Amino acid sequence: MLDKGRLPRHVAIIMDGNGRWAKKQGLSRVKGHNAGMEAMKEIVRASSDLGIQYLTVYAFSTENWKRSQEEVSGIFGLLVKFVKLDLRELDEKNVRVKVLGDYSVIPAAAKKSMDETLETTKDNTGLQFNIALNYGSRAEILRAVNRIQADSLAGKRQGPVDEAEFARYLYTGDENGNVPDPDLIIRTSGEERLSNFLLWQAAYSEFVFTDVLWPDFTPEVYESLLEEYQRRDRRFGGRK
């Protein structure tokens, strides 16, 4: 049974399997992404209700631009739809939305919707819902290195860089409230890799993989994986 007193502080999810789910159903990939969006909404609600402090989802990677124009346009259309239909509920649930990644280059309508979401929820104090959007971890690390170099040249900082300072230059750093590293990373659909997601932050994360395709990922499945996490013995490199 899930112990609500020992929940992970930060859960990160690689939401995989929308396309395979759609193919099994004889539907278009965009329909699969729509079903995945509905699953995501349920997991945001469940996380908020359980008292999870941070939830990060991998919504659109820097590599996803390689997909067909129809699929990419459909994904961003769903983002607009999500904001239009669910912003009020997110705000009422005291959810604070943040973006990890460079979302300045996404289609204008999607960017406008995301800007509205960030502004509306910026003062909320409940679950912080991080949407990794046009995000890639290698790009994030290179961005941090270049920002540190620029600040050094400008005289804004001096001396060697330690881990704590480096982390502040990541998307999960100061600008987003110093998001703690994920305690638990979940990947659906049977794949067992990080796919350029939170490489720095995942150093001591627990991983749980499930064969469930993302559109079929229910709050009940979610709780079962949280229970699995609670059975782990986390030592962070030490000895018991």
What are the pLDDT digits (tens) for 34-73? Answer: 999 999 999 999 999 999 999 999 999 999 999 999 999 9
pLDDT, tens digit, 9 for 90 and up, residues 164-210? 999 999 999 988 999 999 999 999 999 999 999 999 999 999 999 99
Which residues have CB under 8 Å from 64's CB, separation 6+? Answer: 72, 75
pTM of the complete model: 0.95
Given the structure tokens 């979610």, which residue do they identify? 222
Asked if residue 10 lies in contact with residue 183, where contact means CB atoms within 8 angstroms, the answer is yes
Domain ranges across the chain: 10-230
Q: How confident is residue 1, by pLDDT bands cut at 50, 70 and 90?
A: confident
Q: Is 16 a catalytic residue?
A: yes
Alpha-carbon span 158 to 118, nearest angstrom: 33
Spatial separation of the C-alpha atoms in residues 65 and 68, rounded to whole Å? 8
CA distances from 143 to 99, 101, 181 (A): 15, 10, 18
Q: Does residue 235 surpass a pLDDT of 90?
A: no
237 pLDDT above the threshold of 80: no
The CATH number, out of the four listed (3.40.50.300, 3.40.1010.10, 3.40.1180.10, 1.20.1260.10), of the domain defined by the range 10-230: 3.40.1180.10
Catalytic residue among 34, 64, 162, 216: 64
Q: Mean pLDDT, the chain, as a whole number?
A: 95
Beta strands in 69-222 (DSSP E): 96-100, 128-135, 184-187, 206-209
